[in-house]
Structure 1
Amino acid sequence: MSNHVLVSVVIPNYNYEKTLHNCLEALQKQTYKNIEIIFVDDGSTDHSVEIAEKYPCKIIETKNKGVSSARNTGVENSAGEIVFFLDSDVALFEDAIENTVNQFSKDPSLGSVCGIYAKEAMFNDSLIEEYRTLQNYFWRKSSEGYVTAGFFSLGAVKKSVFNELGGFNKELNNSEDIEFGHRLNQNYRLLLTSKVMGYHDEEDQLGNLMRKMHERALQRVPFYFSRKKFTKGFETPLRGLGMLFVGLSTVLLPLSILELYSLLFFWGCLFIFILTDIGQYCFVMKEKGVIFTLFFIGVHWTVTAVVFWGFVRGLVQFLLSKKFRLKYRYGS
């Protein structure tokens, strides 16, 4: 591949006027110039379309069909040999698309190249956003290499591979990345690399983050049963073990108020939880110091507890609902 390869940047959008200017402005500054921008607005009620009209975009308007459908629509209207999926709350580093094309050129076995969020947020609106930004950066950075889960908020796919696989599952709008990544890995490789980076506007409210993570964990259950394997990447056995100890600690927490042994077991579970991802906390300590690291541990414990009970809820739903069990039948 060379500079003559056309890259189609597909941006699905729903009410992201806050970040859209930064997203589109960053595309104007790319070192790789042979790109087309396809902006798929999925029924926004804010000023997103008006903002997009100020930039050289092909604008397509749909009606609240979800991110998977929006991405598929973007590809259907694209002309590039490579499709770069970019969420409208991400602003790419200037060399992101150039590095993506170079990765495809170096490794013909690649079907997809996905990037990593920077350790600085696009907008730093709260301590919760700082937590999420650092946590997301570390997990992805420590997982660099060939993985099975896709990250298509800033990730590229060869168009021929995308068409061969039939696109994203339109029924999924929360776990579509991992499902598509699994299908891609049957015949191709997926590279996660920090050579492709962007600033992301993370969740800045704990309640919103918890709801999103709980739902995502619930949706993972039928996927794991359907594919009979965990994803390769940041979902490590140690982190899975840590989540189990967090689940146990949530049961022990009410009892610890009344009983000394339960309190000791709770602190033991917390200690093991920290040990299972000690590199993450050392990284945060280096970046932000002791006080923020203690805050980080508390928030991460809380979010992990929500994820654990999302899995539990998903297991119950898997047992009771045939429709839920067949959720990932697409592409099997």
Structure 2
Amino acid sequence: MAEKPSDDRVTVSVVVPMYNDSRTIDLCLASVHAQSMPAHEVIVVDDASTDTSAASAARHPCLLVRADANGGPGASRNLGVRHATGEVIFFLDADVTMHPDAIRNAVRLLRGDEGYGAVFGVPDKEPLFAEGLVGQYRILQYHYWRKSAEGLVSGGFYALGAVTREAFDRAGWFNPALRQTEEIDHAERLSRSYPMLLTSQVRGRLSDESRMVPILRKAFRRSRLRVPFYLRRGRAMQGMETGGRAAAAVLAASTLLSVPAAVLFPPLALLTAALLGGFVASDLGQYVFVRRERGWGFVVFFTAAHLLMNTAVVAGLATGLLEWLLRPRFRSLYEEVVP
């Protein structure tokens, strides 16, 4: 049997979709060029930014590709892949930096006997920048959910993940019509032919939203758009979507809905407390982790923020289900022909 060439001979194309990321793009690209295994090429796709992102990216060794109009992450990644020549495509969002061994570890895993088509990374529990309370909540929650789901997954995390070109070509392009859920759609197609791994051997650090309203808006929108995907697929995604977290979402909405009744009729406060206790117990390890990292005071804030986010998720699912019943086009959202 012919011996495999060394990992260092594998060509890796790093594709960075970018839209108004002037705050982070320098750090992002610096982390790419600090890799222990250098990338074959770095392709930055400027998705019609209106800030100085493109000028900042142009100061780094990379191919800067400019989109004619803003098309969203899926369209940007497609455009980057069209210019890529590597055997492995490493997707990295412009607000994420990767650890120096990220490319090397990803290539090693992709070339192993397991036959992975994609490996996705786990973000650090520390943010890229100092954050306020909301930013800290988001980063800790993001880290814990991915860390606790390490192993085989069916959902994709393309903000920090590597895919073999062979697997990408077989799965097909990202659907540019899906502005918020293009990742789950693409990963679903990829997972039909290849196992996918979520692993902390590929690590990075990210900067996320630091205001509560945009986080809630995004949670609502994404959960709404996932309804036709879930109903078409017939099952939850392997990895982060556990039964306990599904129960937590329902308990969160029930807790907040019970508060007005408890104010009007104080004995019902016991029901509110019971619902809140069930909400925390449904994902208890998360709160143990947060207490260990930030202490009891932050656990209180984290719990309140997580209640709001889960309630937004339930509201999005309810809205999506109503749309699925009333709008045929919404039901066929994931059946669009991908260009």
**Contact 1:5–1:81, Cα closer than 8 Å, also in 2:** yes
1:34 and 1:243, CA in 2 relative to 1: closer, same or farther beyond 3 A? closer
Query: In the TM superposition, what is the alpha-carbon distance from 1:330 to its structure 2 partner?
Result: 4.3
Query: In the TM superposition, what is the alpha-carbon distance from 1:241 to its structure 2 partner?
Result: 0.8
SS in 1 for 2:111: helix
The CA distance in 2 between the partners of 1:170 and 1:108, in whole Å, is 31
**Residue 135 of structure 2 corresponds to residue 129 of structure 1:** yes
What is aligned with 1:38? Answer: 43
TM-score (norm 2): 0.96
Query: In the TM superposition, what is the alpha-carbon distance from 1:319 to its structure 2 partner?
Result: 0.9
Query: In the TM superposition, what is the alpha-carbon distance from 1:261 to its structure 2 partner?
Result: 3.7
What is aligned with 1:208? Answer: 214
**Contact 1:5–1:34, Cα closer than 8 Å, also in 2:** no
Q: Deviations over 1:155-207 (max 9, x none)?
A: 11111111122111111121111111111111111100001111100110001
What is aligned with 1:61? Answer: 66
**Contact 1:183–1:331, Cα closer than 8 Å, also in 2:** no
**Contact 1:122–1:201, Cα closer than 8 Å, also in 2:** yes
Q: Deviations over 1:221-240 (max 9, x none)?
A: 11001111110111100110
- List gaps (5 residues or longer) in structure 1: none
What is aligned with 1:29? Answer: 34
The CA distance in 2 between the partners of 1:52 and 1:331, in whole Å, is 33
TM-score (norm 1): 0.98
What is aligned with 2:123? Answer: 117
The CA distance in 2 between the partners of 1:323 and 1:176, in whole Å, is 17
Residue among 6, 9, 16 paired with 1:4: 9
The CA distance in 1 between the partners of 2:78 and 2:204, in whole Å, is 22
Q: Deviations over 1:224-282 (max 9, x none)?
A: 01111110111100110111111222321211111134321111110000000110000
**Contact 2:99–2:202, Cα closer than 8 Å, also in 1:** yes
What is aligned with 2:183? Answer: 177
SS in 2 for 1:18: coil
The CA distance in 2 between the partners of 1:34 and 1:85, in whole Å, is 12
The CA distance in 2 between the partners of 1:290 and 1:33, in whole Å, is 43
**Contact 2:153–2:239, Cα closer than 8 Å, also in 1:** yes
SS in 2 for 1:231: coil
- List gaps (5 residues or longer) in structure 2: 1-5
The CA distance in 1 between the partners of 2:336 and 2:114, in whole Å, is 27
Query: In the TM superposition, what is the alpha-carbon distance from 1:125 to its structure 2 partner?
Result: 2.7
**Contact 1:226–1:329, Cα closer than 8 Å, also in 2:** no
What is aligned with 1:20? Answer: 25
Residue among 147, 151, 169 paired with 2:157: 151
The CA distance in 2 between the partners of 1:144 and 1:331, in whole Å, is 32
**Contact 1:4–1:34, Cα closer than 8 Å, also in 2:** no
The CA distance in 2 between the partners of 1:282 and 1:265, in whole Å, is 24
**Contact 2:14–2:39, Cα closer than 8 Å, also in 1:** no
SS in 2 for 1:257: helix
The CA distance in 1 between the partners of 2:303 and 2:71, in whole Å, is 37
Across the two proteins, how many residue pairs are aligned to each other? 332
Query: In the TM superposition, what is the alpha-carbon distance from 1:331 to its structure 2 partner?
Result: 7.5
Query: In the TM superposition, what is the alpha-carbon distance from 1:108 to its structure 2 partner?
Result: 4.7
Residue among 294, 297, 300 paired with 2:300: 294
Residue among 52, 55, 66 paired with 1:50: 55
Query: Which residue identity does 1:127 align to in structure 2?
Result: L
Give the CA RMSD over aligned residues: 1.3
**Contact 1:84–1:157, Cα closer than 8 Å, also in 2:** yes
Query: In the TM superposition, what is the alpha-carbon distance from 1:294 to its structure 2 partner?
Result: 1.0
SS in 2 for 1:297: helix
